[in-house]
């Protein structure tokens, strides 16, 4: 069977894509932030007025070339504000980050090439085999971090999102 015809079912998505369907919330207030990660694809349909429209639907199956929309929702389940919130999500192994697709309201977004060191895109560089250095491309990012610069209130939710293409 060729790579182009391989179909990944949602039940196997986490394992097949390197286990990256969960995100990590780093906070000083351990246990207050609960995360939910959802993988969706964009679907085109005809609405009630006959117009073409798009919507996100669960990624029941994806094939190479499909673009997956990853949504992470963080909820503060405590009765007090939670500070120092950083949500980190690894780009799945068999996917590539789609440039400029990460967003989240009121957050600073930084990226990593190795999963450990995070910086703004313009600060990320790649050392070539010959010793020269060049700016990193978005498809080389291995992880994304969203940093909330303020405490997250009790019962407050925050949604962040990015897109990645299946290889």
Q: Which domains does the chain have, with CATH numbers?
A: 3-166 (2.60.40)
Instruction: Report the percentage of the chain scoring pLDDT > 70.
Output: 82
Beta strands of 5-142 (E only): which ranges?
8-9, 24-26, 33-46, 52-58, 61-62, 67-76, 85-90, 95-97, 108-112, 118-119, 125-127, 133-135
Q: What pTM does this model have?
A: 0.82
2-49 tens-digit pLDDT: 322 223 333 334 444 444 445 666 655 568 999 999 999 999 999 999
pLDDT at 142 over 70: yes
Residue 82: pLDDT band with limits 50, 70, 90: very high
Q: Report which of 159, 138, 7 is spatially closest to residue 70, judged by C-alpha positions.
A: 159
Query: How buried is residue 8: exposed, middle or buried, by Cβ count under 10 Å (0-12/13-18/19+)?
Result: buried
Q: Look up residue 125 and give its two tokens.
A: 């560089």
pLDDT of residue 102: 98
As a whole number, the mean pLDDT across the chain is 87
| Sequence-distant (≥ 6) Cβ neighbours of residue 141 within 8 angstroms | 91, 97, 111, 112, 113, 124
pLDDT of residue 2: 31
């Amino acid at each position: 069977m060729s790579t182009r015809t391989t179909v990944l079912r949602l039940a196997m998505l986490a394992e097949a894509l390197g286990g990256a369907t969960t995100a990590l919330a780093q906070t000083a207030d351990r246990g207050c932030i609960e995360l939910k990660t959802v993988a969706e694809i964009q679907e085109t349909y005809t609405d009630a007025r006959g117009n073409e429209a798009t919507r996100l639907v669960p990624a029941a199956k994806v094939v190479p070339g499909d673009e997956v929309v990853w949504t992470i929702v963080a909820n503060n389940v405590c009765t007090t504000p939670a500070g120092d919130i950083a949500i980190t999500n690894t780009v799945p192994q068999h996917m590539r980050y789609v440039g400029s697709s990460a967003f989240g309201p009121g957050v600073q977004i930084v990226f990593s090439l190795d999963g450990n060191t995070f910086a703004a895109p313009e600060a990320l560089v790649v050392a070539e085999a010959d010793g020269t250095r060049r700016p990193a491309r978005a498809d080389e990012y291995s992880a994304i971090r969203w940093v909330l610069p303020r405490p997250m209130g009790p019962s407050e939710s925050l949604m962040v999102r990015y897109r990645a293409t299946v290889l």
